Amino acid sequence: MKLTSIRSLATCCIVLSLILTSCSEEKEPTNNNDRMTKPATFTMADLKKQRKEMAHRRRRIIFNNDGDDVGGYGAVDATNVQTKESVEMASTPEGLLKLRTTALLGSQVDAIWYYTTHGMKIRHSNGPYGRFYGPSNPENVAVRNFKTLTSKYGKDALEIMIEACRKQGIEIFYSNRMNDTHDSFRPKLTRYIKVEHPEYTLLPREEGKKFGYPDIRSLWAALNFEYPQIRQMTVEALREVCRNYDIDGIELDFIRHPLYFPPTMEYKAVEQKHLEMMNDMVRKIRTMTEEEGLKRGRAILVAARCADDLALSRSIGLDVETWFEEDLIDVLVMGTWIDFATPMKDLIDLSHRHEVPAYVLVHSAYKAEHDWSLWRGDAMFRFAEGADGMLATGGNNDVYPMVVMAQSAWGQCSLKGHGYSGVSPTIIPSNLKNHANPNGMFGYVGADFWLSSVRLNENWMTKVECCVTDISG
């Protein structure tokens, strides 16, 4: 349908959007060679200025990719099931991107934060990253695909992702799980350092195996960050990432998984000394990114993911307030998979007072992950609290067209559908003359719709005049 030169007055304003904004701007492709060329002079003052600008770029949706796409997960039919076909796809750059990334291009996903271990060349080397994160069992389909990618195409999974993002002007972070515990249940994922130094884990394997999930003691394979060796190896492993990859930043994902010190295994809050240990490590990570940023002539951002509120974060060793006060992080992500109704406004407001953009995890429970109304309701709730954007994690993610009705006043509903599940628009073109429009100068747009959301603030209702040039779909 084409509507040309129509001045439409929407009494119930309609703004086309995916999830977040009413105005989509096209992403500018970036010249990768320009990014890698070091300026003649690049001082700490230049770095900090650039870092602030980079931190406040637009991120409507951050897609956090688990990185197991290199093993064939994330099939194109959205089932996220590993199949023979999907495993084969992941052995080529085009196939790897098709599993989870290609469909995001041109959407409102402005940032991809990529966690990939099996698919990184430095994991399969004897450097700081490989010694700390390297596997004790180095053979699986993901590793076989990694070897094919590097031998036939000369790039590992993260390098392929970086190249794709650069071409589309999408931000690319390396996302680091600060203490992944999947090897508590999946021995094939055990890192070599835990075999070489079993004393580094929070519980001995024999003790942890006495408990079943969700008993926190069943996550026995978590590393004990009381050991200074663990904290220092973390810093040096991340340094190797920053030296070897053209990333915009690193995410410190402290929620994968939130166990760092012995008191947590006893369901107790950590002590002040533990907060100081973690703060010291975060300071070293910030210093490291500044050192490496100065060397390459471009800032490296630090994002951190914490729990749902300050008290819960502190109880496991994450002193977010100190990170703000000492300018240790550039971006904050908050949220777990436990309680989606937890208010986060206070933490969002605190982040904004320190000029740090704040993003909230949106994931309306695994059992309902394809109930998009829950995702949209969760997102609307967080935007009302002041979040700068949303982060989606996992394998099955999609982006759906939305209509925002009187944004911040009413709510959201799907553009697609009929009756109770969608919108019934009414469009009166400007050339239709009647008693209200005798000279054919005005067109009108309105809509009938049902909302399952609560009205937030009727005083925020407003009128918008806009020119609609094209409506399709």
Domains and CATH numbers, the chain: 1-18+401-473 (no CATH), 25-179+223-399 (3.20.20.70)
Residue 428 contacts by C-beta under 8 Å, 6 or more apart in sequence? 437, 443, 444, 445
Q: What angle do the packed helices 228-244 and 272-296 form, to 10 degrees?
A: 20
The pLDDT, as a whole number, for residue 86 is 92
Cross-strand partners of 140: none
Question: What's residue 435's pLDDT?
Answer: 62
> Residue 340 carries which side chain, given as an amino acid letter?
F
Q: Measured between alpha carbons, how far is 43 from 429 in angstroms, rounded to an integer? A: 58
For position 392, what pLDDT does the model report? Answer: 82
Chain centroid to Cα 456, Å, comes to 27
Check if the beta carbon of residue 201 is closer than 8 Å to that of residue 262.
no
Give CA angle at 308 (307, 309), nearest 5°: 100
What per-residue confidence (pLDDT) applies to 70?
95
Q: For helices 157-168 and 93-100, what crossing angle results, to 10°?
A: 70
For residue 341, give both structure tokens.
């109704």
Q: What is the pTM of this model?
A: 0.78
Q: Which residues of the chain have pLDDT under 50?
A: 1-34, 366-367, 395-410, 412, 418-421, 451-473
Contact (Cβ atoms closer than 8 angstroms) between residue 3 and residue 438: no
